[in-house]
Amino acid sequence: MTSSSPSASPPISSSPGELDLRGEICPFTFVRTKLALEALPFGATLRVITDHEPASRNIPRSAAEWGQEVLGVTGLPDGTWAIDLRKRVR
């Protein structure tokens, strides 16, 4: 069982190019990622922060299958992952 914040409020994006999905699980992590990418202009980058380990694999795989560019997946010291994506399809 994983521990998460006791707050039930939904994750918020801290900036147009960053999506904080801590506390969210699959498939909602990719659904929110896809919606965020759709709102960005072509060529823009999006950094997705997640604490759900399966999402660190599923988001990049699904984004690549959808035609987006996966720039990288980085494990962060706090136990989260940063997934960097570039919008390549509309």
pLDDT, one tens digit per residue, over 32-90 is: 999 999 999 999 999 999 999 999 999 999 999 999 999 999 999 999 999 999 999 98
Check 26, 40, 73, 82 and give the catalytic one: 26
- CA angle 50/11/71 to nearest 5° reads 35
**Alpha helix ranges (H) inside 1-73:** 28-39, 53-65
Read off the pLDDT band of 6 (50, 70, 90).
Answer: very low
Its pTM surpasses 0.75:
yes
The predicted structure's pLDDT at residue 90: 81
Known catalytic residue: 89? no
The closest of 44, 36, 38 to 69, measured between CA atoms, is 44
* Residue 15, pLDDT above cutoff 90: no
The predicted structure's pLDDT at residue 3: 38
